[in-house]
Chains A and B, each alone.
Chain A
Amino acid sequence: MSVAVRTRDLTKTYVDGVRRVAVLKGIDLAIEPGEMVAIVGPSGSGKSTLLHLLGALDRPDSGEVEIGGGSLAGLSGAQLAGFRNRTIGFVFQFHQLLPDFTALENVMLPGRIAGREPRQVLESARRLLLEVGLEERLDHFPNQLSGGERQRVALCRALVLEPPLLLADEPTGNLDPESGETVFNLLLDLQARHRTTGVVVTHNPEIAQRCTRILRLDGRVLQPY
């Protein structure tokens, strides 16, 4: 399952002390269902901010985000939380696994937040962890896993509810090249097999090259790379 992502004239300004910094100035973006889009650009160009807006983690100052044809404007905090739970899987540069939960439990969390039946969530989580080769690591806590393994667990957690949209912010930025390669291969593989729409923010040109499309965020407007 996948969704189309659209933004119209998206702007976002931060106030830094007394200075107003316009991070996004009128972003128009159209991503087709099933696409895997890389967003590249220098630091401070607003890549992460754009990703947060797409992920319903932040609200734009003006403009609109549409995911699967529905606008996010006007949704309450609790509605946005429910929307994120059902629709979006996040992978961040730092794995952000919960240290008090095992790998398997971490992957189960989104399902338990959604109120799904525990056995069913357990099965989905176990299956995904097997798919990424962590069958020996199910009951390990995050501090017992390597960096690459943690990021693979984080990837499983993002996909366990089969969200139609996967958002990744520098998913390999904190890994050595080899682990990064493994993780990104898995990400692409899972994204393709689950036919998930994907947006990856990255500095890494090699990773960007492997996506279906690259958009460059510079001068605060998106251009094809």
Chain B
Amino acid sequence: MTPLLERPWPFPVILALRYLRSTRRDAFASFLSAVAAGGLALGVAALILSLAVISGFQSALRSELLSRTPQIEVELPPGADAEAAHQAVLAVPEVVSAQILVRGGGWLVDQGKVQAVELIGFDGPVPPSFPGAAGKPQGLYVPALLASRWGLEPGQVLEVVSPRPTLTPLGPQPRVRSVPLAGTYEGGRTQEDRERAALPRKVAETLLGNTSRRLEVSAADLDVALDVAERLPAVLPPGSEVRTWQDLNRPLLFALRLEKLVMFVAVSLIVGVAALALVADLALVISSKRPEIGMLGTMGATPAALRQTFVILGGLVAGSGMLIGTVLGVGGAWVMDRFRLLPVPGQVYFLDYVPFLVQAEDLVLVLLLTLVLALASSFYAAQRAASLDPVEAMRR
């Protein structure tokens, strides 16, 4: 192996590498270095794990949520020609499918039991926002939980009631239709989904009239859907409202992002504390090497070269901490996700384990933040070495 001094590396690199080795022999300096590197490793691992758990939940929640909300929802103005709008939307490039829906409030009634529901009338097969029933033929679909609670079987006839009155000789009466149950869908575990019922559009229109009609539009994927949504208003009747999956879930998506940000800032404090330990470590090394630093100055080492030396030394300590932290964080997240080591009750949450998802941009952010903090700390400490007066430094 080529001796260190004979390698064609810049002088500060050579000096920093040798100092890294020598501090390992000094028990107290190596203890402080270990504390700084260990602290950074802990901070990096904690940041990676906490962001991974939030990303994991976000990703699970998003797919759960987005399976129940349309990619694009268009609310047509009253009296608009829904069929014409439907055809116009289908002609827009990158639109994969579009469906006319009628929505409104109502009740399901069975032998004196009543459940308030949002009635959704659709054409063609059941839309994808009814998981477990999507693609099945037309008919009445209710949440599986409701069906089991009421002991409903397919083919059983339910009464669907609308608040929209019909004038009769006896005064206004609610509209009632008897509809046979076609099946159930997985209502999910959120309150909102328990209160929807799908039924054929013709039936829904007789109950609700044709005032509140919507189009649900799908594109190839969520990002394409956002582009498509911008092109839709041009082909729709004036007064139409276009809402994307982002608009529909804005409060939740915002809350998820905010949660992640707050978590990131809070856990970053560990890295901040470790960076302070790095300052202490470098300050100790610099003060124990004062006479040497002075001698290097008399030999012509510039303040910049001395500063670089200790920034590199700090970078080496921090780099080893970051490497360990990354292995711990990414490895830990992978193991816990792969082997589902953190179970949660599936009846309460929509998942039965805590998911971990390490995202590349999170990892880059964590490492960048740690690197910047570590280098800033090293720079601060190294400034002391650079500003030493050689003659003063050599006095013991």
Q: Which residues of A contact B296 (CB under 8 A)?
A: 98, 109, 113
Chain A 99-139 interface mask (CB, 8 Å, partner B; 1/0): 11100110011101111011101100000000000000000
CB of A180 within 8 Å of the partner chain: no
Known interface pairs A78-B304, A92-B394, A100-B21. Does A55 touch B298 (Cβ–Cβ under 8 Å)? yes
CA separation between A81 and B303, bound complex, in Å? 8
CA separation between A19 and B394, bound complex, in Å? 24
Q: Which residues of A contact B297 (CB under 8 A)?
A: 57, 81
Q: How many A-B residue pairs have CB under 8 A?
A: 82
Given contacts A57-B297, A85-B299, 10 further A-B contacts (CB under 8 A): A57-B298, A78-B303, A81-B301, A83-B300, A86-B300, A99-B292, A100-B22, A110-B299, A112-B11, A122-B5
A residues 66-115 in Cβ contact with B at 8 Å? 77-78, 81-86, 90, 92, 94, 96, 98-101, 104-105, 108-110, 112-115
Least Cβ–Cβ distance between A109 and chain B, in angstroms = 6
CB of B41 within 8 Å of the partner chain: no
CA separation between A110 and B298, bound complex, in Å? 10
Least Cβ–Cβ distance between A162 and chain B, in angstroms = 14
Query: Can you name the residue of chain A whose Cβ is closest to the Cβ of B4?
Result: A105
Q: Please list the residues of chain A having a beta carbon within 8 angstroms of any beta carbon in chain B.
A: 52, 55, 57-58, 77-78, 81-86, 90, 92, 94, 96, 98-101, 104-105, 108-110, 112-115, 117-119, 121-122, 157
Known interface pairs A57-B390, A101-B5, A122-B6. Does A113 touch B301 (Cβ–Cβ under 8 Å)? yes
Q: Check A119–B6 contact: CB distance below 8 A.
A: yes
Q: Check B291–A113 contact: CB distance below 8 A.
A: no
Chain B 1-21 interface mask (CB, 8 Å, partner A; 1/0): 001111110110010001101
Q: Check A110–B300 contact: CB distance below 8 A.
A: yes
Q: Which residues of B contact A55 (CB under 8 A)?
A: 298
CA separation between A52 and B294, bound complex, in Å? 13
Q: List 28 A-B contacts (CB under 8 A).
A: A55-B298, A77-B302, A77-B303, A78-B304, A81-B297, A81-B300, A81-B301, A81-B302, A81-B303, A85-B301, A86-B300, A90-B299, A92-B394, A94-B291, A94-B394, A96-B294, A96-B295, A98-B292, A98-B295, A98-B296, A100-B21, A101-B5, A105-B4, A112-B5, A113-B301, A115-B10, A117-B8, A118-B7
Least Cβ–Cβ distance between A131 and chain B, in angstroms = 20
Least Cβ–Cβ distance between B36 and chain A, in angstroms = 20
Query: Can you name the residue of chain A whose Cβ is closest to the Cβ of B25?
Result: A100
B interface, size bucket? 20 to 34
Q: Which residues of B contact A114 (CB under 8 A)?
A: 300
CA separation between A100 and B21, bound complex, in Å? 9
Query: Can you name the residue of chain A whose Cβ is closest to the Cβ of B8?
Result: A118
Least Cβ–Cβ distance between B257 and chain A, in angstroms = 47
Query: Can you name the residue of chain A whose Cβ is closest to the Cβ of B299?
Result: A110
Q: Which residues of B contact A119 (CB under 8 A)?
A: 6
Least Cβ–Cβ distance between A42 and chain B, in angstroms = 20
